[in-house]
Protein backbone atom coordinates (compact mmCIF):
# COMPACT_ATOMS: atom_id res chain seq x y z
CA UNK A 1 0.00 0.00 0.00
CA UNK A 2 1.06 3.60 -0.39
CA UNK A 3 0.85 6.68 1.76
CA UNK A 4 -2.23 7.66 -0.24
CA UNK A 5 -4.13 5.11 1.88
CA UNK A 6 -3.16 6.61 5.23
CA UNK A 7 -6.17 7.23 7.48
CA UNK A 8 -7.16 10.87 7.51
CA UNK A 9 -6.50 11.34 11.23
CA UNK A 10 -2.87 10.27 10.89
CA UNK A 11 -2.06 11.65 7.44
CA UNK A 12 -0.37 14.91 8.38
CA UNK A 13 1.70 13.36 11.19
CA UNK A 14 2.67 10.38 9.05
CA UNK A 15 3.70 12.58 6.11
CA UNK A 16 5.78 14.75 8.43
CA UNK A 17 7.51 11.67 9.81
CA UNK A 18 8.23 10.36 6.32
CA UNK A 19 9.70 13.70 5.21
CA UNK A 20 11.93 13.78 8.26
CA UNK A 21 12.95 10.16 7.60
CA UNK A 22 13.78 10.90 3.96
CA UNK A 23 15.88 13.92 4.94
CA UNK A 24 17.74 12.01 7.66
CA UNK A 25 18.48 8.99 5.44
CA UNK A 26 19.28 10.90 2.23
CA UNK A 27 16.39 9.44 0.24
CA UNK A 28 14.18 11.13 -2.33
CA UNK A 29 11.18 12.53 -0.48
CA UNK A 30 8.67 11.76 -3.23
CA UNK A 31 9.62 8.08 -3.37
CA UNK A 32 9.42 7.72 0.41
CA UNK A 33 6.01 9.39 0.54
CA UNK A 34 4.64 7.28 -2.32
CA UNK A 35 5.88 3.88 -1.14
CA UNK A 36 6.95 4.03 2.51
CA UNK A 37 8.47 1.04 4.29
CA UNK A 38 7.03 1.62 7.73
CA UNK A 39 9.05 -1.11 9.38
CA UNK A 40 12.24 0.70 8.32
CA UNK A 41 10.75 3.93 9.62
CA UNK A 42 10.16 2.21 12.96
CA UNK A 43 13.80 1.05 13.09
CA UNK A 44 14.90 4.63 12.34
CA UNK A 45 12.61 6.00 15.06
CA UNK A 46 14.04 3.54 17.57
CA UNK A 47 17.70 4.11 16.70
CA UNK A 48 17.93 7.81 15.80
CA UNK A 49 14.90 9.67 17.11
CA UNK A 50 13.76 8.20 20.41
CA UNK A 51 16.34 9.76 22.70
CA UNK A 52 16.05 13.19 21.10
CA UNK A 53 12.34 13.95 21.52
CA UNK A 54 10.12 14.55 24.51
CA UNK A 55 7.95 11.81 25.97
CA UNK A 56 4.82 13.41 24.49
CA UNK A 57 6.35 13.66 21.02
CA UNK A 58 7.58 10.07 21.23
CA UNK A 59 4.08 8.88 22.18
CA UNK A 60 2.61 10.68 19.17
CA UNK A 61 5.24 9.32 16.76
CA UNK A 62 4.92 5.82 18.18
CA UNK A 63 1.12 5.71 17.86
CA UNK A 64 1.28 7.03 14.30
CA UNK A 65 3.97 4.59 13.19
CA UNK A 66 2.21 1.60 14.75
CA UNK A 67 -1.10 2.61 13.20
CA UNK A 68 0.55 2.79 9.78
CA UNK A 69 2.21 -0.61 10.24
CA UNK A 70 -1.14 -2.10 11.27
CA UNK A 71 -2.73 -0.59 8.16
CA UNK A 72 -0.05 -1.43 5.61
CA UNK A 73 2.06 -4.25 7.12
CA UNK A 74 -0.19 -6.05 9.65
CA UNK A 75 2.03 -9.14 9.73
CA UNK A 76 4.87 -7.05 11.11
CA UNK A 77 2.91 -5.30 13.85
CA UNK A 78 4.40 -7.41 16.66
CA UNK A 79 7.94 -6.68 15.43
CA UNK A 80 7.17 -2.97 15.21
CA UNK A 81 5.82 -2.94 18.77
CA UNK A 82 9.02 -4.57 20.00
CA UNK A 83 11.05 -1.87 18.26
CA UNK A 84 9.04 1.00 19.75
CA UNK A 85 8.73 0.84 23.54
CA UNK A 86 5.94 2.74 25.23
CA UNK A 87 8.24 4.62 27.61
CA UNK A 88 11.72 5.85 26.90
CA UNK A 89 14.45 6.26 29.45
CA UNK A 90 16.35 9.20 28.01
CA UNK A 91 20.08 8.86 28.69
CA UNK A 92 21.52 12.16 29.98
CA UNK A 93 24.11 12.15 27.19
CA UNK A 94 21.39 12.15 24.54
CA UNK A 95 19.25 14.76 26.24
CA UNK A 96 22.23 17.06 26.79
CA UNK A 97 22.84 17.16 23.04
CA UNK A 98 19.28 18.18 22.32
CA UNK A 99 19.32 21.89 21.44
CA UNK A 100 15.90 23.49 21.57
CA UNK A 101 16.95 27.14 21.52
CA UNK A 102 17.65 29.50 18.61
CA UNK A 103 21.25 30.51 17.93
CA UNK A 104 22.48 33.25 15.63
CA UNK A 105 23.38 30.55 13.10
CA UNK A 106 19.86 29.10 13.26
CA UNK A 107 18.32 32.52 12.72
CA UNK A 108 20.69 33.34 9.84
CA UNK A 109 19.86 30.07 8.07
CA UNK A 110 16.15 30.70 8.51
CA UNK A 111 16.41 34.22 7.11
CA UNK A 112 18.32 32.99 4.04
CA UNK A 113 15.74 30.26 3.46
CA UNK A 114 12.79 32.66 3.82
CA UNK A 115 14.47 35.11 1.43
CA UNK A 116 14.76 32.40 -1.23
CA UNK A 117 11.23 31.05 -0.80
CA UNK A 118 9.47 34.44 -0.53
CA UNK A 119 6.70 32.91 1.56
CA UNK A 120 3.69 34.91 2.65
CA UNK A 121 4.27 36.04 6.25
CA UNK A 122 7.76 34.50 6.13
CA UNK A 123 9.57 37.56 7.41
CA UNK A 124 6.86 38.23 9.97
CA UNK A 125 7.41 34.68 11.28
CA UNK A 126 11.06 35.59 11.82
CA UNK A 127 10.09 38.80 13.62
CA UNK A 128 7.70 36.86 15.85
CA UNK A 129 10.40 34.30 16.63
CA UNK A 130 12.90 37.02 17.53
CA UNK A 131 10.32 38.86 19.65
CA UNK A 132 9.71 35.58 21.50
CA UNK A 133 13.44 35.32 22.22
CA UNK A 134 13.21 38.82 23.71
CA UNK A 135 10.10 38.22 25.83
CA UNK A 136 9.63 34.48 26.40
CA UNK A 137 5.89 34.61 25.69
CA UNK A 138 4.00 31.47 24.77
CA UNK A 139 2.59 31.80 21.22
CA UNK A 140 -1.01 32.02 22.43
CA UNK A 141 -0.13 34.77 24.93
CA UNK A 142 0.69 37.23 22.14
CA UNK A 143 -2.99 37.65 21.31
CA UNK A 144 -3.61 39.41 24.65
CA UNK A 145 -0.22 41.04 25.30
CA UNK A 146 -0.01 44.80 25.71
CA UNK A 147 2.82 47.29 26.22
CA UNK A 148 2.97 49.51 29.29
CA UNK A 149 5.38 52.17 30.52
CA UNK A 150 7.56 51.17 33.45
CA UNK A 151 10.03 53.61 35.04
CA UNK A 152 12.39 54.70 32.27
CA UNK A 153 11.37 51.99 29.81
CA UNK A 154 8.72 49.50 28.79
CA UNK A 155 7.23 46.24 30.01
CA UNK A 156 4.77 43.68 28.65
CA UNK A 157 1.51 42.91 30.44
CA UNK A 158 0.60 39.28 29.73
CA UNK A 159 -2.38 37.05 30.49
CA UNK A 160 -0.62 33.84 31.53
CA UNK A 161 -2.16 30.94 29.65
CA UNK A 162 -1.43 27.90 27.52
CA UNK A 163 -2.95 26.75 24.24
CA UNK A 164 -5.74 24.65 25.73
CA UNK A 165 -7.67 27.24 27.68
CA UNK A 166 -7.59 30.94 28.52
CA UNK A 167 -7.97 29.95 32.19
CA UNK A 168 -5.10 27.48 32.60
CA UNK A 169 -3.67 29.68 35.36
CA UNK A 170 -6.13 31.28 37.76
CA UNK A 171 -5.93 33.12 41.07
CA UNK A 172 -8.63 34.03 43.61
CA UNK A 173 -8.82 37.40 41.87
CA UNK A 174 -9.24 35.96 38.38
CA UNK A 175 -6.94 34.88 35.51
CA UNK A 176 -3.24 35.05 36.34
CA UNK A 177 -1.20 37.81 34.72
CA UNK A 178 2.47 38.66 34.70
CA UNK A 179 4.68 41.57 33.71
CA UNK A 180 7.77 41.03 31.56
CA UNK A 181 10.20 43.96 31.87
CA UNK A 182 11.85 45.22 28.70
CA UNK A 183 14.22 47.65 30.43
CA UNK A 184 17.32 46.04 28.95
CA UNK A 185 16.27 46.57 25.35
CA UNK A 186 16.85 49.46 22.99
CA UNK A 187 14.36 51.22 20.74
CA UNK A 188 14.87 48.77 17.87
CA UNK A 189 13.85 45.81 20.05
CA UNK A 190 10.87 47.73 21.51
CA UNK A 191 9.71 48.62 17.98
CA UNK A 192 10.02 44.97 16.97
CA UNK A 193 7.86 43.77 19.89
CA UNK A 194 5.26 46.50 19.32
CA UNK A 195 5.19 45.66 15.61
CA UNK A 196 4.53 41.97 16.28
CA UNK A 197 1.68 42.79 18.68
CA UNK A 198 0.16 45.21 16.15
CA UNK A 199 0.42 42.75 13.25
CA UNK A 200 -1.19 39.96 15.27
CA UNK A 201 -4.09 42.18 16.30
CA UNK A 202 -4.58 43.37 12.74
CA UNK A 203 -4.42 39.89 11.19
CA UNK A 204 -6.28 38.00 13.93
CA UNK A 205 -9.48 39.73 15.08
CA UNK A 206 -10.79 36.54 16.72
CA UNK A 207 -9.32 33.70 18.78
CA UNK A 208 -9.99 31.22 15.98
CA UNK A 209 -8.28 33.47 13.43
CA UNK A 210 -5.26 33.68 15.72
CA UNK A 211 -5.01 29.88 16.09
CA UNK A 212 -5.26 29.42 12.31
CA UNK A 213 -2.61 32.09 11.73
CA UNK A 214 -0.24 30.54 14.25
CA UNK A 215 -0.77 27.03 12.82
CA UNK A 216 -0.13 28.31 9.30
CA UNK A 217 3.19 29.87 10.32
CA UNK A 218 4.29 26.73 12.13
CA UNK A 219 3.45 24.46 9.19
CA UNK A 220 4.29 26.61 6.17
CA UNK A 221 7.31 28.50 7.47
CA UNK A 222 9.03 26.74 10.36
CA UNK A 223 7.91 23.24 9.39
CA UNK A 224 8.93 23.62 5.76
CA UNK A 225 12.24 25.19 6.75
CA UNK A 226 13.08 22.18 8.92
CA UNK A 227 12.14 19.73 6.15
CA UNK A 228 13.92 21.62 3.36
CA UNK A 229 17.22 22.33 5.07
CA UNK A 230 16.42 25.86 6.17
CA UNK A 231 17.64 25.19 9.72
CA UNK A 232 20.93 24.03 11.19
CA UNK A 233 21.26 20.23 10.94
CA UNK A 234 17.57 19.96 10.00
CA UNK A 235 16.70 21.19 13.48
CA UNK A 236 13.00 21.55 14.25
CA UNK A 237 12.35 25.20 15.10
CA UNK A 238 9.02 26.62 16.24
CA UNK A 239 7.95 29.71 18.13
CA UNK A 240 8.51 27.70 21.31
CA UNK A 241 12.20 27.55 20.36
CA UNK A 242 12.31 31.28 21.07
CA UNK A 243 10.86 30.64 24.53
CA UNK A 244 13.55 28.03 25.21
CA UNK A 245 16.20 30.53 24.13
CA UNK A 246 14.69 33.21 26.39
CA UNK A 247 15.14 30.94 29.42
CA UNK A 248 18.68 30.11 28.36
CA UNK A 249 19.51 33.81 28.08
CA UNK A 250 18.20 34.44 31.59
CA UNK A 251 20.25 31.52 32.92
CA UNK A 252 23.35 32.91 31.22
CA UNK A 253 22.58 36.33 32.70
CA UNK A 254 22.67 34.87 36.21
CA UNK A 255 19.00 35.00 37.25
CA UNK A 256 17.77 32.44 39.76
CA UNK A 257 15.20 29.76 38.95
CA UNK A 258 12.41 31.50 40.95
CA UNK A 259 13.08 34.77 39.09
CA UNK A 260 13.01 32.98 35.74
CA UNK A 261 9.76 31.23 36.71
CA UNK A 262 8.10 34.61 37.32
CA UNK A 263 9.19 35.94 33.92
CA UNK A 264 8.09 32.80 32.06
CA UNK A 265 4.79 32.31 33.87
CA UNK A 266 5.67 28.86 35.21
CA UNK A 267 3.55 27.47 38.01
CA UNK A 268 5.66 24.40 38.84
CA UNK A 269 9.28 23.25 38.89
CA UNK A 270 8.32 20.43 36.52
CA UNK A 271 7.24 22.91 33.87
CA UNK A 272 10.38 24.94 34.48
CA UNK A 273 12.61 21.92 33.92
CA UNK A 274 11.26 21.44 30.38
CA UNK A 275 12.86 24.70 29.21
CA UNK A 276 16.39 25.75 28.48
CA UNK A 277 19.33 23.44 27.97
CA UNK A 278 22.07 24.33 30.44
CA UNK A 279 23.93 21.05 29.85
CA UNK A 280 24.47 21.78 26.17
CA UNK A 281 27.22 23.89 24.68
CA UNK A 282 25.98 27.47 24.81
CA UNK A 283 25.71 29.28 21.49
CA UNK A 284 25.55 33.04 21.00
CA UNK A 285 22.04 34.33 21.66
CA UNK A 286 20.27 36.74 19.34
CA UNK A 287 19.83 39.13 22.29
CA UNK A 288 21.12 38.78 25.84
CA UNK A 289 19.21 39.98 28.88
CA UNK A 290 20.61 42.48 31.35
CA UNK A 291 20.92 40.60 34.68
CA UNK A 292 20.94 43.56 37.06
CA UNK A 293 17.87 45.28 35.62
CA UNK A 294 15.78 42.11 35.35
CA UNK A 295 16.73 40.88 38.80
CA UNK A 296 16.07 44.30 40.36
CA UNK A 297 12.63 44.43 38.75
CA UNK A 298 11.68 41.00 40.04
CA UNK A 299 12.89 41.63 43.58
CA UNK A 300 10.94 44.89 43.71
CA UNK A 301 7.67 43.20 42.74
Which pLDDT tens digit goes with each residue over 2-56?
444 444 567 778 888 888 888 888 888 887 888 888 989 998 888 877 766 767 7
Query: How many C-beta atoms lie closer than 10 Å to residue 227's C-beta?
Result: 18
Categorize the per-residue pLDDT at 168 as very low, low, confident or very high, splitting at 50, 70 and 90. very low
| Strand pairing report for 170-171 and 174-175 | antiparallel
Q: Which residues contact 103 (CB under 8 A, 6 or more apart)?
A: 232, 245, 283, 284, 285, 286
**pLDDT of residue 283 exceeding 90:** no
pLDDT at residue 269, rounded to an integer:
52
pLDDT digits (tens, 9 = 90+) for 100-157: 788 888 888 888 888 988 888 889 999 999 999 999 998 888 988 999 988 778 889 8
What does pTM read for this prediction? 0.62
Rounded to the nearest 5 degrees, what angle is found at the Cα of 96, between the Cα atoms of 94 and 98? Answer: 75
pLDDT digits (tens, 9 = 90+) for 186-230: 889 999 999 999 999 998 888 888 888 888 888 888 888 877 777
| Backbone φ, ψ for residue 147 (5° rounding) | -85, 145
**Cβ atoms of 253 and 157 closer than 8 Å:** no
C-alpha 214: how far from its chain's center? 12
Which domains can be identified in the chain, with CATH numbers?
Answer: 3-96 (no CATH), 104-300 (1.10.443)
pLDDT at residue 8, rounded to an integer:
56
User: What is the percent of the chain where pLDDT is above 90?
Assistant: 9
Amino acid sequence: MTSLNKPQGYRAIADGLLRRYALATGQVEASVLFAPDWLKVCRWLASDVGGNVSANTWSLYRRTALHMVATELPRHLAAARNLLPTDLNHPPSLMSRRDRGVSLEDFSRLREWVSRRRLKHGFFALDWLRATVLTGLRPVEWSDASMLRYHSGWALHVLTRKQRSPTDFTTPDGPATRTVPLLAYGQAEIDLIQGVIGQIRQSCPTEQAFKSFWKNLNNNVFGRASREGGTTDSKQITLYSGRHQFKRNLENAGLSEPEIAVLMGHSSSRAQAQYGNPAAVQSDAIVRADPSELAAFLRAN
